[in-house]
Each structure stands twice: as C-alpha cells, then as structure tokens.
Structure 1
C-alpha cells in the first residue's frame, strides 16, 4: 500500500524514532569503525591531533550538533564555540568541545581507508569504482528510502545538483541551474517531496543500453519489481521520448512530459500547426497509437506528450487579456488535461530540493565524499519530516513545523531536553 510502511505506522513515533530508520545502529557502526581507522592512519602519517575512539553514542551527538548548526546557521563552525562575545552560543560546548568536534569533522570517513587505497591503485581501469568512498552508505540510503515509504501514484524524475568545489572527476557544470558547479544526482521523488530513489551521475558507463542517457536514467529508477505497476511518471523534455514512453507503457506505467522538437519519433508535420498569431488557448494534437502529442498556446507554445491523458476535459484557466476598448480583464482560456496534470505533479523533485535547502547541514569541505555524506543526512532529515507529516495525518494530529522537527531531533540526538533544562 502507498504511504508510510510498518513498523512506523504503529504507535506514536518521535523524530528520533523516524530518523533512526535511516541512520540506525548499522550506519552508526560503519561510520565509527571507518572514522577510527581513518584517524589511526592520519596519526601514522604524522598529523598532530589527539584522538580517542569514537562510539555510536558520540557519533549521534556529532550528528545532532550538525542539525543544530543547520538551524542556527552561523558563518563558521568555530563560531559556535566563541566566548566573551555578543554572539556567544553556549549549547555546543555542553555537548562536545570545539577541538573534539573539529577532529571528528576532519577524520569522518564512510568507507574503509585500506580498501580506498586498493581501489585508488585501479584508477584508469574498468575495475576502478569512483564512488567507493561513499558506496557503503549509498546502497543503504537508497534501500532505506525505498523501503520505509512507498510512493503514491504520481512520481517525477529530474536532476539535482549538490554544490561542491572539490576536485572530483565527475563534477558537473550546469549553466542554467542556480547551483552551477557540483555533483549531479538523478532523483525520483513523490509529489510531497519525498526522495524515493537517487543515482549519482559519474559519466558514461559500460552498462549503457545505447538508447541514450535519459532513457537509462528513467528505466533504472522506475523499477517494476519495486513499484509494481499503474504509476504515472512525469519528466521534462530532457527525458521525454516516444521510445521511453512506449517502453514504460509496456511495463505498466503511464508517462507524461514536455518534449523537444526534432527528437526521434516526434511528429514533424506543419499541417494545421500553431504559430505566433494563434489565439491564446488554441489546442492542436496528434495521436500516434498509444502516444498523444498535444500543443497548447499560452504566452508561448507548450508541447506535451502523454500516454494516460485525454486531449481536453473541459477545463479552463484564467488569463489576463486586453479587450477592444484597451481594458485588461481575466478571461477563461481552455487548457489541455496533460498540462494541468503536469503542473500539478511534476514538481516533486523541485519540492524536495527546496526542503533539502531548508536548515541544511551542509558545511564547506574540500572532500567531495563528505559533501555527499552531508547530503545523505539532509535527505534523511527531510524524508523523516515528510513521514512525520504523513503519520500525523493518519492519526489526525497536528504536525510540527520543519524547524521545530529538526530542533527536537537535534535535542534527542544530543541527549539534551529541548527546553535546555539540566
């Protein structure tokens, strides 16, 4: 059934109970073991710092402080331990000393350092894994995101940029994106912003189907074994193609998206086509077997392809128009069914990105894998908050705000009451 999965639906779940479904004892153990190994290796290399082995309880406190910093948002990490200043923040020092926090920050590691060294020797060969440093957590996070919550019928696929200036071979540049430099992820999200699945883009791989990157991205995430069938996938013109949509239909999925002119299989006829002089609200369509291509004139021409919608169901949308006497008034304009559904359901990944950027734990680092770790943490907190809202709807309770949720989660992870009492 769609929605939150057992055992979360039974009983009252605190923010920590939900968050622990993602960052459980297994994840904490991996982080602690590899962080201790990395610190030992750094000491052997001659680096000067004092180290005591970190345990899962202390790792939870470290993560709690990261969430606390996401809420407080001071410019530098060291600012949280400043004293004798108007901007003094007393809480972090009661949980962990500044030097201990910074030492953990510098030594935190996801993978086994010895295995990293072996993998680095394979660089330039097919055996080299460029995601080795995040692989232990990557697989776990993807599985947890898919197993804890089952998406509702309408899902969207789009790309996401995680900002970083670290030196890494698969860093991408996207001119039109607000985050121009970073690590690109292909994301599948529910309409409520829940991150269902994601894939880190590392460039062309030997596992390519030969049908194009956009085809491979969607088919790798829209998994029939996991989802079943009957879902509707929404995507933009980078992904939309007749080849992809027909393939999804064979698997039992509907699809809807904007498309680019000139793509293989897209009708190219000019007969009865729209032009700049076409009245606002004009609709043209061509049906090609199970594909419906729709063009609609709004302020500009809008092109859609769908396998699940009718051309027009009688819906109108209000638009400003100038009358013959020069007055402006809002008049009803016909709108195709596919356009309305696309506008309603395509924004899942954008909603997810906005929520991830709220109270983010992201801190500047030259280690790309630590940027990914911070992003995993943001995904876990954001997904946990969405589950909290879903559970409150089930039990007819009023949900917390995102800030209150993260504040309470940070307090529970650090083991301190939210009101600050001893």
Structure 2
C-alpha cells in the first residue's frame, strides 16, 4: 500500500512584513539578517581543497594565526563552464521503500488515523486530563474515561450508536471540522444542531472534557530561564508519540524540506502571520515530505530554542540547521535527494550534506554565494530567449551549479519587476 493514499491533500504574533519578496521569503527575517545568521562570518564558509578536511574544518572560527586565517578566507574560484549532463544511472537509488506490515495492511484513512492515535496514546491523554482536573479542584474529579476521549477526538467504531451507520465515526472534534457552525454549542441546538453530535454525549460533558483535555503534567514544567524549559512543553509528549510513528515509515527517494502553517485562532507568542500562505495565521511547522505528499518528519518552530544543530553537524544558522535536523533520519549514502528553497540553501549546507552522503538541490540567493558574479537581468535578455548562464566549482567534495532560468520562468514581484531565480546543486546540472 502506498503511503500517499493516506496523506490529505507582537506579543502574541510574529508579523512578517509584506515586502518585495517571493513566497519563500515570508518565512523569515530580512535577507540581510538571514545571510548573517548562516554562519559566523560568511567569508569563512569555503570549500576545502583536500578530502582530508572534515566538515568541522570548513566552519571553525578563524585561527589566531594570520596565515591560517588568510588561507581560510581565500574566496572560491567560480568558472563559467558546463558540468557533464546529469544521468540518473550515475545516482541509482539504493534505499528501502518497503512498507511495514502494520502499514501495508491498512485499508481506510480511519485505520491509518488509529495507527497514530493508538490505545496507548488515548490512555495517556485520559491520565493527564484527569490529573489536571484534580489539580484544579481535588473535590471535583472529572473522571474522564477512555471511551469519552475516543468519542471526543475521533473514534471510528460506532457500535454503541445504533442509529448511525458503521461507516461513520463518532469523533465530535473531527465532525465539527467538517460541519462548521458559528459556535460549539450550536451543534446541540434543536433547530440548527446535529443529531449525530447530540447522540454521542451532552454539551456540558463535552465542554468539561474540552476544559481538562491535557497532554503533560503542569507540575513538571520548567520556568523560563531554567535548564530544560520548553515552549512546547504542554504538547511535547503528543508530538513525540506521533513523530515516533511517522519515523517508522520508510522514506522516498526524493524528499523536500519546507515550512507549513498550522492554522489557529488562539492567542500565543509562537503564532505567526505570513501573508503569502493560504492560512495566514498559525504555528510554523518545518516538514520533511516526499513527492507523494506524505510527511516523514516534522519540527514545530518554537523560537530561539529551535535553533539547534545535530551533534556532529556544523552550525549553519537558523535556516540551515532546520535542514540538518530533519535530515538526521534520512539514510546516508543511498542516493536520497533533498530539495529546498532559497531560504534554506547555502553552499555550506550543501557541502555538509554532500559529505554526509545526501544529494541536494535548491534555489539560492546570489548574496549567499561568495565571489560569484552573474550577469544582470538586462544582460541576460540580450542573449536571447531561453538563455542561461552556468558557473561551477569543481572540487573533490562538491560540485555547485548556478543557472538562470529563461524569462518565462521569472517570478514577478509586487512591483511587476521580474526576478531571477538561481539554482545550486550538488548533483544536478541544467
């Protein structure tokens, strides 16, 4: 069974200015801030001249020796040249895409949902919700049961509801997301309400469960400034349990790292406003997805605490570290291909991925490519329709390619001025 069949196609708000940028640019700070954040000293991120140099050598701070500092600061020499054409047989995919038996046996989206919200997770939610109720008032326990949580969230067994078809589910929250009414109490209204919802549980009981629904013990929460403080503490166990199940699914050959918005109307300091997105308000979530649309890993953005890089990986800045974190679970040296947009791409990132046994391709901002001069838009138009310019480095560890796409692929901005798109790749040529 193909996993793609189961994938559904300033206090409280971080505002992203609607400047003259592409859709990719809305997810972060200004271009100048991002470039500065890539590494400490852009001039230090250059490709080493020997295979013996480790990835740490490329990103270490300059030595106190003037001679070593001058050697590391030597700019790369970009040449206008065409690399050999890309041949797929030179990069055969060697990964394992066979689905686990428990996934291959699934037949409906309902069964796939229950893989993630399994019995252990439901029992955990019941336990934490009852703990919160006792913390609020020890004399008034909520006494929430497993069956109530299943009916509240989305239990796909309706044996207890004789009036309903067996093909329906009894999850009130999921049902409300499909049948939208102005407020939750309207679902129990005798005029405009839904008999389906009224049959499952009373309105007062539903609101009581909603009040105490919880995923972590508040008594274990650290204060800001303490070691172990987590802005996502209250949902961290839920995220970890879902992520454990996602990681069990083998990955496809072609993967992409990108961001998505989890829409919400709540007030929260992690909530962001990104005007270029279909859902403009919500939490930012970085995702590792495949060409089928299935998400194989995710990392919800939690401010400064999210700017971490895996052990053994160089610090590539806010955007580069996102890719290295999500790429940790991708098998090495099996010709997996990872794609990303120009907010993530930098030569330093692709050097690291290449050394780690991962192939990559992404659009890039020219000011992130040191010592590489490209023709202006006016100069490129003089070369004629469909023209492009290639420049590359040829090193033992890294082949980088820059190219201009033809004018019919230029992206107009709000001033209707055409913008050039460049691509840099460690394995793919024009």
TM-score range normalised by the length of the shorter chain: 0.5 to 0.7
Equivalent of residue 20 in structure 1, options 93, 114, 130 = 114
Residue correspondence of structure 1 range 112-191 to structure 2 within 5 A: 112-116=217-221, 119=222, 122-147=223-248, 149-191=249-291
- Alignment match, 1:82: 189
**Structure 1: where are the runs of 5+ without partners?**
312-422
Mapped pair 1:292 → 2:401: yes
Write the distance in 1 (CA, Å) between the matches of 2:246 and 2:332.
13
Deviation at 1:75, TM superposition (A): 2.6
- Alignment match, 2:204: 99
User: Does the Cα contact within 8 Å between 1:37 and 1:113 map onto a contact in 2?
Assistant: no
Backbone CA RMSD of aligned residues? 2.5
Deviation at 1:231, TM superposition (A): 0.8
Write the distance in 2 (CA, Å) between the matches of 1:76 and 1:199.
31
CA pair 164-225 structure 1, distance change in 2 beyond 3 A: closer
Q: Which protein has the bigger strand share?
A: 1
Deviation at 1:14, TM superposition (A): 4.3
The residue matched to 1:20 in structure 2 has which SS?
helix
Write the distance in 1 (CA, Å) between the matches of 2:371 and 2:172.
52
- Alignment match, 2:328: 223
User: Does the Cα contact within 8 Å between 2:364 and 2:421 map onto a contact in 1?
Assistant: no
Write the distance in 2 (CA, Å) between the matches of 1:170 and 1:90.
37
CA pair 272-203 structure 1, distance change in 2 beyond 3 A: closer
Write the distance in 2 (CA, Å) between the matches of 1:193 and 1:266.
37
Write the distance in 2 (CA, Å) between the matches of 1:276 and 1:26.
62
Deviation at 1:42, TM superposition (A): 2.3
Deviation at 1:234, TM superposition (A): 0.8
Write the distance in 1 (CA, Å) between the matches of 2:295 and 2:377.
42
Q: Deviations 1:243-265 (Å, cap 9, x if unpaired)?
A: 11121111221111111111144
Residue correspondence of structure 1 range 244-263 to structure 2 within 5 A: 244-263=349-368
Write the distance in 2 (CA, Å) between the matches of 1:106 and 1:279.
65
User: Does the Cα contact within 8 Å between 2:338 and 2:359 map onto a contact in 1?
Assistant: yes
Write the distance in 2 (CA, Å) between the matches of 1:109 and 1:233.
36
Equivalent of residue 151 in structure 2, options 46, 54, 61 = 61
Deviation at 1:98, TM superposition (A): 1.1
User: Does the Cα contact within 8 Å between 2:129 and 2:213 map onto a contact in 1?
Assistant: yes
Write the distance in 2 (CA, Å) between the matches of 1:196 and 1:224.
9
Write the distance in 2 (CA, Å) between the matches of 1:195 and 1:286.
34
Q: Deviations 1:219-259 (Å, cap 9, x if unpaired)?
A: 11112565663111111100111111121111221111111
Q: Deviations 1:30-58 (Å, cap 9, x if unpaired)?
A: 110011111222235x9xxx764122222
User: Does the Cα contact within 8 Å between 1:257 and 1:304 map onto a contact in 2?
Assistant: yes
The residue matched to 2:101 in structure 1 has which SS?
coil
Write the distance in 2 (CA, Å) between the matches of 1:95 and 1:164.
26
- Alignment match, 1:5: 100
TM-score (normalised: structure 2):
0.64
CA pair 132-228 structure 1, distance change in 2 beyond 3 A: farther
Deviation at 1:276, TM superposition (A): 4.1
**Structure 2: where are the runs of 5+ without partners?**
1-95, 154-170, 411-419
- Alignment match, 1:310: 429
Write the distance in 1 (CA, Å) between the matches of 2:371 and 2:342.
12
**Structure 1 range deviating more: 267-276 or 232-241:** 267-276
Deviation at 1:3, TM superposition (A): 5.1
Write the distance in 2 (CA, Å) between the matches of 1:165 and 1:90.
27
Deviation at 1:165, TM superposition (A): 4.7
**Structure 1 range deviating more: 217-226 or 170-179:** 170-179
Write the distance in 2 (CA, Å) between the matches of 1:105 and 1:136.
18
Write the distance in 2 (CA, Å) between the matches of 1:247 and 1:283.
27
TM-score (normalised: structure 1):
0.65
How many residues align? The count is 299
Residue correspondence of structure 1 range 35-74 to structure 2 within 5 A: 35-44=129-138, 52-63=142-153, 64-74=171-181
Write the distance in 2 (CA, Å) between the matches of 1:181 and 1:124.
28
Write the distance in 1 (CA, Å) between the matches of 2:371 and 2:360.
15
CA pair 272-180 structure 1, distance change in 2 beyond 3 A: closer
The residue matched to 1:220 in structure 2 has which SS?
helix
- Alignment match, 1:236: 341
- Alignment match, 1:33: 127
